Amino acid sequence: MRSITKTVFLIILAFFTGACDNNPYTASLSGKNILFSAFSTRIKYLDPARAYSSSEYRFIRQIYEPPLQYHYLKRPYTLIPLSATEVPKPQYFDANGNVLPENAPVKTIDHTVYEISIQRGIKYQPHPGFARDAQGRFIYHNLSESALSNIHELSDFEKTGTRELVANDFVYQIKRLAHPRINSPIYGLMSEYIVGLWELNERLQQVDKEQKLDYIDLDNYPLEGVEVVDDYTYRIRITGKYPQFLYWLAMPFFAPVPPEAERFYSQKVLIKRNITINGYPVGTGPYMLTVNNPNYRIVLERNKNFHGELYPLEGAAGDKELGLLRDAGKPLPFIDTAIYTLEKETIPYWNKFLQGYFDAATISSDNFDQAVTISADSNAILTDEMREKGIRLITSVRPTNFYFGFNMQDTVVGGTAESARLLRQAISIAMDIEEFISIFHNGRGIPAQGPLPQGIFGHKEGEKGVNPYIYDWVNGQAKRKPIAIARSLLAEAGYPNGRNEKSGKPLVLYLDVRGGGPDDKSMFDWYRKQLAKLDIQLIVRATDYNRFREKMQMGNAQIFWWGWHADYPDPENFLFLFYGPNGKVKYGGENAANYQNDKFDALFEQMKNMDNGEARLKIIDKMVEIVRYNAPWLWGFHPLEFSMHHDWEHNVKPHPMENSSLKYWRIDHEKRENYREKYNKPVLWPLGLMLALVVIITVLAVRLYRQREYRRQAVNN
Amino acid sequence: MFNYILRRLAYALPILLGVNFITFALFFMVITPDDMARLHLGDKHITQEQTKQWKHERGYDRPLFINSAHQDIEVIKDTIFYQKSVRLFFLDFGTSDADRRDINYDISQRVWPSIAIAVPTFVVGLLVNITMAMLLVFFRGTQLDTMAVVMTVILMSISSLFYIIAGQFLMSKLWHLTPISGYELGFDAWRFLILPVVIGVISGMGAGTRWYRSIFFEEINRDYVRTARAKGVPELKVLFRHVLRNAMVPILTGVVVVIPALFMGSLIMETFFAIPGLGSYTIEAIQSYDFAIVRSMVFLGSVLYIIGLVLTDISYTWVDPRVRLS
Amino acid sequence: MEFFDIKLVILWTDGLLFLLTLLALFAIIYIYRNPYLRCTWREVFRSKIGISAFVVLMAYITTGLLDSFHFRMALETTANQTEKHYSGEVTSLLDIILGSLYQHQEKTYSAPFSAFQFTKENTEQPDGTFQRQYPRLEYGGSHLNEELSDKFADITHRTIVSIFWALAIWGSIAVFLTFMMARKNRDRLESELKPRFGKKLGLLVSSMAHTWRKIWTGSTDIPWNIALITTGILILSISWFAQMAEGYHIFGTDKVGNDVFYLAIKSIRTGLIVGTVTTLIMLPLAIILGIMAGYFRGWIDDVIQYLYTTLNSIPGVLLIAAAMLVLNVWIDNHPEQFPTAVERADIRLMSLCIILGLTSWIGLCRLLRGETLKLRELGYVQAAQVFGVSHVQIIKRHFLPNLMHIVLITVVLDFSFLVLAEAVLSYLGIGVDPTTASWGNMINAARLEMAREPVVWWSLIAAFVFMFGLVLAANLFSDAVRRAFDPRGIS
């Protein structure tokens, strides 16, 4: 019997040593030109009319090609054509339809026309929605349940087709923004600018109600402000002047969508199989989506119909030294396939990166110390351990604000009264943002001096850019004012030592945050500690994001912690967060502090439509001064993005506006194989130890059993 | 037998109705359909029109339980409760509230990973626990038994979270033996299952072994066992022939009910190991207030539980011929 | 309630915990007067494991109770003040006892017994330059010299002091116990020892010495020696911890510099409340419904069976999760009812207990129903019915006493299960409030810390040690209880 167990153990041991490794992918994926990456939240919308988050843009930017894009390497951010032939020039008209010169005063401009011409010969990715039979009829546009018995994913369709991109596809997509069933997030904003969009929406709503169709053919419903000139040209008419519109043309909202695809996806039998335009986009870009299992994996593969694009020939200063121009002029894309795996937990995510199973990773504050050390001159450098592994660190400032907002409608911290302003200022000084960044973000952030982050027109560096109400300029550095000043401001505001001057009641303030995760308890503690310095009691109210948003909508918050990520790199996109008519409670806008200042509003209206220049800068300076003085926000920080890359990944340069970097990236998969082998050798002694333990216990047990049997027999005899 | 199943089915109906009622009451007590629409539509400019459209598309624009606008039977029929419940009874779950995916389809996709992790954990766990318990009974009264009993109490007293954290840390991070988390469709999945299955088995071992041990102990003191032993039947034979077979009824009572519920997956294991099963599906749905999915999963869970009860009864007739279903 | 400068705060869970303590006291008095029950309970304490587990449990319970006396301190009065105001911060008796620990807050992580911060920081040198290094902690080891050469001596010194303290306290407890026992057996001892010792004082000393010998050799009926040893170990560790905590962070500090040892102790109350208050909520439901179903049968039985089958058929975690989220939404929508953070956290803890209670009564109810059905058929019950004794009387006299052992066993068994459940639910984000100190929250945070390099292991270990201690003691005690009350289950 013992020999049998021995053999079994040997077999198990052999089995384990042969098959044991920690590779989270099938062996067949090794040694190929594949990028391995991860996504952490469920991807809900890949429809370009709906998607509005960076996690979704990561995918659809590779698939859909709007008319314009940002230059990959150049800084400041520069627009260049993508599917268009050139960046369109606006034409200004007055109310009578007369052409106005470029420098015409804003008031005289009635509407603006953008005429966009697109490249010829661009073809869509292969897709069953385009497939036609010999007679030229669509094969898959009238599907029945029985025909679909073997179809579970889009790739299960046998035949595919393609067609050339035409101007109508762009127009069709703009119409989709007004589709009542699609609920595009920018419909509200765009209906103020694009002529006739609102009317189209009204019309479509009516049609939807009356006819209850599966599919509304948008080609039958004209949109007044958008017209097809010929197959390769279309025009968009905008009310008034809106120079920022060009930035919108670089977003997937304005990418072409073929009507055939929507027609195809509107079939009920496909919807039942979750094959929808939300899940399976149809575009002209370098990649096409082939597998979409939002709970598990998303795969992008090279689009064989891609029209071709070349790696940029020039870059920003210093790019050449970094090797970013080594591939200049070579055809894009370099990588064949990109596999994205759902990874919600940070620990496995980070470990898999170190093990070489993800090609790049962002750093959470918990594994920061392992990866990065800050040198004496406070530059971030990688630890020796990481450098030994050939890992690189890439940092960039994001055009993002994280801030504590004061609800200006609140009776304690809000309002225009001087005492409330002093209170806000005192709190702003007490909240030690530098410490916050150092504890919770390991220094990956720049304390905000005002609403405009680095890289945005109007931002100022150094002493000129310091917020004089919160900071002092000492020895060439901005230094937060001492807490004693905050205390005296607080006393001036009527709360000496955190107690109401008149009633003696302690001052209690409420902070609304989103969250409830494992890291949040310590953060809440920290918030409380800050205001305790002023003897103010802070009560932190945490809710999930949905509830939080609702609270903001109702104006039920007092102080709140929120962030803003710019849509496009223009100061207007930051300063509009303080524009009165943009108030959250009254108008449902993005001004969550519900700040209202007539002077600021007037300046904003003036600045909004100006082109960058001396005059605009002057106005912006005035506006920044107003909000600094009034302090409707406690200026938080602009995050620094740190990402780590293995040395087999090339041409990486972060671009916070554009997420379509994938097509520029190149990987050296042989190097990756070597790395994976080197750092993932299984350690087998614990297995041996466990087996030995089992053997010892078995032997002991058998012995015990024999002894007992022997004794029993002795008794019986 | 046929009659029995028919009767059980008739009995199941009011239970399922009750379950449905509880879920509806729970959800709608605090969240109105308007709230739901607002939660799902997001933060950018939301018009009254869009909320209405959202509710209409998902059928939440009716009254909850009673529609006083009608006269006859429509009073009950034209309500959210009726409209949503009736389809459930035909196992037609409709589409999710958030992204309008077909729930039946999603369930049919996600049930396999759940089974792949739950069934091995269950089977291996059962075998290990019964074997261990048998060994303990076999070595009763010796030092080995005492030590093992103390071990089981210690195993029981450790939170399952510790097992998971320690398991991932050791097996994957230090020793590179298994992937830390993840999943692969198809046969390749086994490499991802080792760690969660081993952890699942170990964390259930303490309580399981003790439970079976007490069942066996109850049997071993019965007369027939003493008689058999007195007749000189070897100890091992006594244990397997007599004790195990007679302990089958209590074992089945505890075990069979659980089997259908295995389809539902494990919330904790699936979230920790990033396994795209039904457990993680459910927890995601709860966290994002997707009422359609929650309702469907609760209903499915109850159906499976009732099936488990029926199976338990049937299994009794199988191990004990004296039991008849009437 | 207001006193001179404190204002008592009774949170919901505090109130229930006190109610529970009161009930337990009544139960003890009742048991003491009932010879049969007294005998069975004696059986529990006769077991060595049982009594030492009980001592450990008592230590946990005392800590938890101390942490449940909440109050707010008054603020200093200012000149033109009309009424007295109290601090918004709610403190507990335990906080006062742990006083210094609570205030010893560092900036961020530090290892156990370390005098340095765990992470490097830019510190300004005397010459105005910046250097990146591990700064000294503000409290932990701050009394040590620059090179820390006196660390070993300091720890030794503190250890010796703690041993002295422990010996003194333990000794007085032992003397007190011996004295009480000697007095109890005075008559017997006197007749035994009088011939040898005439004088009164000598008699006392000798009878105590005699008793002590009996205790120490374990020849008393209840193994007092084991109880004393357990107490001794407990006192020694408490006094050691107390000595060390003054100068060091025994279990290090967490991300924002809170003392982990303090957090682990504060978590005891959360664990206890989940384990006991839940029971308090579930018991009336289970007992009333279970007995009613078994006793009245007929349609009442049908209704009750329907109720619990329905509830039981909903997957447990799902029901808890859904109910928790729904309650959270409700709490969020009614902020005016819970003005302070403590009250909000408390109501979440409370709702967790209620929900756990509502889902866990079914098992016990079923058991009781089955047992009642059996009891009902017994002759004396039927006789009582024939004589027209009222239902309430029959249930009170014949059923409740005969079912109590089932209730008891279930309660002690459930306790450890509930403590473990709290951790898991907190991990899933549906447990206690993130601001509440709880082992679940600690483990939750520790998951991320385990990924750091070097690993931050102390939070996890601290949570593990404290939680394991409670659950193990509870499990062992429940074993002893079961063995005494239901000897059939185990041979």
Tens digit of pLDDT for each residue in C365-385?
988 998 888 888 888 888 888
Residue A272 touches chain B, beta carbons under 8 Å: yes
Q: Could you tell me if B6 and B71 lie in one domain?
A: yes
Q: Could you tell me if A688 and A603 lie in one domain?
A: no
pLDDT tens-digit profile of B289-298?
788 898 899 8
Domain that holds residue B299: 103-325
Q: Could you tell me if B61 and B129 lie in one domain?
A: no
Q: Could you tell me if B189 and B315 lie in one domain?
A: yes
Phi and psi dihedrals of C338, rounded to 5? -130, 75
Contact B283 C428 (CB under 8 A): yes
Q: Which residues of chain C does B218 touch, with a Cβ-Cβ cutoff of 8 Å? A: 488-489
Contact A22 B144 (CB under 8 A): no
| Chain-centre distance for alpha carbon C6 | 26
Query: If DSSP codes are grouped into helix, strand and coil, which group holds residue A230?
Result: strand
- Distance to chain B for C117, nearest Cα, Å: 25
Which 8-state DSSP code applies to residue A663?
G
Q: Could you tell me if A79 and A191 lie in one domain?
A: yes
Between B174 and A196, name the one with better pLDDT: A196
Q: Which residues of chain C does A346 touch, with a Cβ-Cβ cutoff of 8 Å? A: 448, 451
A223 vs A196: CA distance, rounded Å: 6
Q: Could you tell me if B166 and B23 lie in one domain?
A: no
pLDDT at residue A365, as a whole number:
61
Which of B38, B60, B90 corresponds to the end of one domain? B90
pLDDT tens-digit profile of C39-59?
888 888 888 888 999 999 999
If one counts the domains in chain B, the total is 2
Contact B144 A20 (CB under 8 A): no
Q: Could you tell me if A610 and A547 lie in one domain?
A: yes
pLDDT tens-digit profile of C340-369?
778 888 888 998 999 999 888 998 998 899
Quote the pTM value. Answer: 0.81
- Quick one: which of A82, A58, A73, A62 has its CA closest to A653? A73
- Quick one: which of A146, A264, A178 has its CA closest to A214? A264
- Of B44, B172, B288, which is closest to A351 when you measure between CB atoms? B172
- Domain CATH number, residue B267: 1.10.3720.10
pLDDT at residue C491, as a whole number:
32
In a domain, B243, yes or no: yes
Domain that holds residue A453: 400-641
Contact C471 B18 (CB under 8 A): no
Tokens at residue B22, please? 């509880």
Tokens at residue C469, please? 């201690």
In a domain, B95, yes or no: no
In a domain, A33, yes or no: no
For the ranges A251-260, A705-714, C20-29, the lowest mean pLDDT is seen at A705-714
Mutate: best of A12, A347, A562, partner B, most B CBs <10 A: A347
In a domain, A347, yes or no: no
B146-149's contacts with Cβ under 8 Å and 24+ in sequence apart are B148/B209, B149/B210, B149/B213
In a domain, A686, yes or no: yes
Q: Which residues of chain B does A53 touch, with a Cβ-Cβ cutoff of 8 Å? A: none
Is the separation of the CB atoms in A514 and A485 below 8 Å? no
- Domain CATH number, residue A612: 3.10.105.10
In a domain, A413, yes or no: yes
In a domain, A288, yes or no: no
Tokens at residue A474, please? 């000492």
Contact C256 A519 (CB under 8 A): no
In a domain, B98, yes or no: no
Peptide bond preceding C401 in cis form (omega within 30 of 0): no
Q: Could you tell me if B61 and B182 lie in one domain?
A: no
pLDDT at residue A214, as a whole number:
79
Q: How far is CA A709 from CA A154, A689, A702, B80, B239, in A?
A: 67, 30, 10, 70, 15
Q: Could you tell me if A567 and A688 lie in one domain?
A: no
pLDDT at residue C490, as a whole number:
37
Q: Could you tell me if B197 and B261 lie in one domain?
A: yes
Place of tokens 């830390």: B180
For the ranges C21-25, C59-63, C412-416, the lowest mean pLDDT is seen at C412-416
Q: Which residues of chain B does A356 touch, with a Cβ-Cβ cutoff of 8 Å? A: none
Contact A521 C445 (CB under 8 A): yes
Kindly indicate the confidence band of residue A62, based on its pLDDT and cuts at 50, 70 and 90.
very high
pLDDT at residue A366, as a whole number:
62
Chain B and chain C share a number of CB contacts under 8 A equal to 115
Q: Which residue of C has its CA nearest to A352?
A: C451
A369 vs C108: CA distance, rounded Å: 13
pLDDT at C1 over 70: no
- Average model confidence (pLDDT) across chain A: 86
Residues in chain B, total: 326
pLDDT at residue B4, as a whole number:
80
C121 - beta bridge partners? Answer: C133
Section C148-165 average pLDDT? 90
- Distance to chain B for A349, nearest Cα, Å: 9
Q: Which residues of chain B does C362 touch, with a Cβ-Cβ cutoff of 8 Å? A: none
Could you count the other beta carbons within 10 Å of the beta carbon of residue A469? 18
pLDDT at A14 over 60: no
pLDDT at A435 over 90: no
Q: Which residues of chain A does C448 touch, with a Cβ-Cβ cutoff of 8 Å? A: 346-347, 364, 366, 518-519
pLDDT at A11 over 60: no
Query: If DSSP codes are grouped into helix, strand and coil, which group holds residue A668?
Result: coil
Contact A504 C119 (CB under 8 A): no
Contact B177 A687 (CB under 8 A): yes
C8 - beta bridge partners? Answer: C71
Q: Which residue of A has its CA nearest to B165?
A: A347
Question: Which residues, in sequence order, are CB contacts of C266 under 8 Å at separation 6+?
Answer: C67, C94, C437
Kindly indicate the confidence band of residue C440, based on its pLDDT and cuts at 50, 70 and 90.
confident
Is the separation of the CB atoms in A164 and A121 below 8 Å? yes
A71 vs A310: CA distance, rounded Å: 12
Three-state SS for A113-167 is EEEEEECCCCECCCEHHHCECCCCCECCCCCCCHHHCCCCCHHHCCCCECCECCH
- Average model confidence (pLDDT) across chain B: 83
Q: Could you tell me if B45 and B127 lie in one domain?
A: no
Peptide bond preceding A682 in cis form (omega within 30 of 0): no
User: Beta strands A508-514 and A537-543: pairing type?
Assistant: parallel
Q: Which residues of chain B does C428 touch, with a Cβ-Cβ cutoff of 8 Å? A: 267-268, 271, 283
- Quick one: which of B212, B114, B283, A342 has its CA closest to C424? B283
Q: Could you tell me if B72 and B31 lie in one domain?
A: yes
Q: What percent of chain A has pLDDT over 90?
A: 39
Q: Could you tell me if A135 and A228 lie in one domain?
A: yes
Contact A516 C434 (CB under 8 A): yes
Q: Could you tell me if B171 and B41 lie in one domain?
A: no
Section B78-84 average pLDDT? 80
pLDDT at C459 over 60: yes
Contact A19 B191 (CB under 8 A): yes
Is the separation of the CB atoms in C116 and C259 below 8 Å? no
Between A481 and B70, name the one with better pLDDT: A481
For the ranges A376-390, A456-470, C202-216, the lowest mean pLDDT is seen at A376-390
pLDDT tens-digit profile of A206-245?
888 888 777 888 999 999 999 999 999 999 999 988 888 9
- Of B49, B57, B180, which is closest to A351 when you measure between CB atoms? B180
pLDDT at residue B178, as a whole number:
83
Three-state SS for chain C is CECCCEEEECCHHHHHHHHHHHHHHHHHHHHHHCHHHHHHHHHHHHCHHHHHHHHHHHHHHHHHHHCCCEEEEECCCCCCCCCCCEEEEEEEHHHHHCHHHHHCCCCCCECCCCCECCCCEEEECCCCCEEEECCECCCCCCCCCCCCCCHHHHHHHHHHHHHHHHHHHHHHHHHHHHHHHHHHCHHHHHHHHCCCCCCHHHHHHHHHHHHHHHHHCCCCCCCHHHHHHHHHHHHHHHHHHHHHHHHCCCCCECCCCCEHHHHHHHHHHHHHHHHHHHHHHHHHHHHHHHHHHHHHCHHHHHHHHHHHHHHHHCCHHHHHHHHHHHHHHHHHHCHHHCCCHHHHHHHHHHHHHHHHHHHHHHHHHHHHHHHHHHHHCCHHHHHHHHCCCCHHHHHHHHHHHHHHHHHHHHHHHHHHHHHHHHHHHHHCCCCCCCCCCCHHHHHHHHHHHCCCCCCCCHHHHHHHHHHHHHHHHHHHHHHHHHHHHCCCCCC
In a domain, B96, yes or no: no
- Distance to chain C for B70, nearest Cα, Å: 31
Section B116-124 average pLDDT? 91
Contact A521 C441 (CB under 8 A): yes
Q: What percent of chain B has pLDDT over 70?
A: 96
C461 vs C453: CA distance, rounded Å: 16
- Of A347, A681, A704, which is closest to B176 when you measure between CB atoms? A681
- Quick one: which of C256, C251, C261 has its CA closest to C435? C256
In a domain, A301, yes or no: no
Is the separation of the CB atoms in A284 and A123 below 8 Å? yes
A41 vs A38: CA distance, rounded Å: 10
Angle ∠(A582,A586,A588) on CA atoms, nearest 5 = 60
In a domain, A287, yes or no: no
Task: Find chains touching chain C: ≥3 CB pairs under 8 Å.
Answer: A, B
Q: Could you tell me if A13 and A72 lie in one domain?
A: no
Q: What percent of chain A has pLDDT over 70?
A: 93
A435 vs C34: CA distance, rounded Å: 64
Q: Could you tell me if B161 and B304 lie in one domain?
A: yes
> What would you measure as the largest C-alpha separation in chain C, in angstroms?
99
Tokens at residue A531, please? 């205001």
Section C257-273 average pLDDT? 91
Is the separation of the CB atoms in A298 and A57 below 8 Å? no
Q: Which residues of chain A does B55 touch, with a Cβ-Cβ cutoff of 8 Å? A: none
pLDDT at residue B46, as a whole number:
59
pLDDT at B72 over 80: no
pLDDT at residue A518, as a whole number:
55
Section A15-41 average pLDDT? 78
- Domain CATH number, residue A89: 3.90.76.10
Q: Could you tell me if B112 and B26 lie in one domain?
A: no
Q: How many angstroms separate the first and last alpha carbons of chain C?
A: 54
- Distance to chain A for B206, nearest Cα, Å: 17
Maximum mean pLDDT: which of A368-377, A516-525, A671-680, C201-210: A671-680
- Of B158, B159, B214, which is closest to C489 when you measure between CB atoms? B214
Q: Could you tell me if B202 and B114 lie in one domain?
A: yes
In a domain, A41, yes or no: no
Q: Could you tell me if A95 and A211 lie in one domain?
A: yes
- Quick one: which of A20, A114, A130 has its CA closest to A67? A114
Section A620-628 average pLDDT? 93
pLDDT tens-digit profile of C293-338?
988 888 999 899 899 889 888 888 888 888 887 777 777 767 677 7
pLDDT at residue B25, as a whole number:
84
Q: Could you tell me if A696 and A599 lie in one domain?
A: no
pLDDT tens-digit profile of B30-47?
677 877 777 777 655 556
Which of B57, B90, B123 corresponds to the end of one domain? B90
- Strand ranges inside A363-409, DSSP E: 372-374, 380-382, 392-397, 400-406
If one counts the domains in chain A, the total is 3
Q: C188: buried, middle or exposed (CB in 10 Å: 19+, 13-18, 0-12)?
A: exposed
In a domain, B97, yes or no: no
Question: Which residues, in sequence order, are CB contacts of C92 under 8 Å at separation 6+?
Answer: C66, C67, C68, C69, C70, C71
A341 - beta bridge partners? Answer: A38, A297
Section B261-288 average pLDDT? 83
Which of B90, B117, B138 corresponds to the end of one domain? B90
Section A439-451 average pLDDT? 84
Which of A214, A237, A271 corresponds to the end of one domain? A271
Section B142-162 average pLDDT? 85
A241 vs A111: CA distance, rounded Å: 6
Q: Could you tell me if A471 and A563 lie in one domain?
A: yes
- Quick one: which of A449, A456, A450, A445 has its CA closest to A399? A456
Task: Find chains touching chain B: ≥3 CB pairs under 8 Å.
Answer: A, C
- Average model confidence (pLDDT) across chain C: 84
User: ipTM of this model?
Assistant: 0.82
Q: How far is CA A6 from CA A688, A692, C4, in A?
A: 13, 11, 77
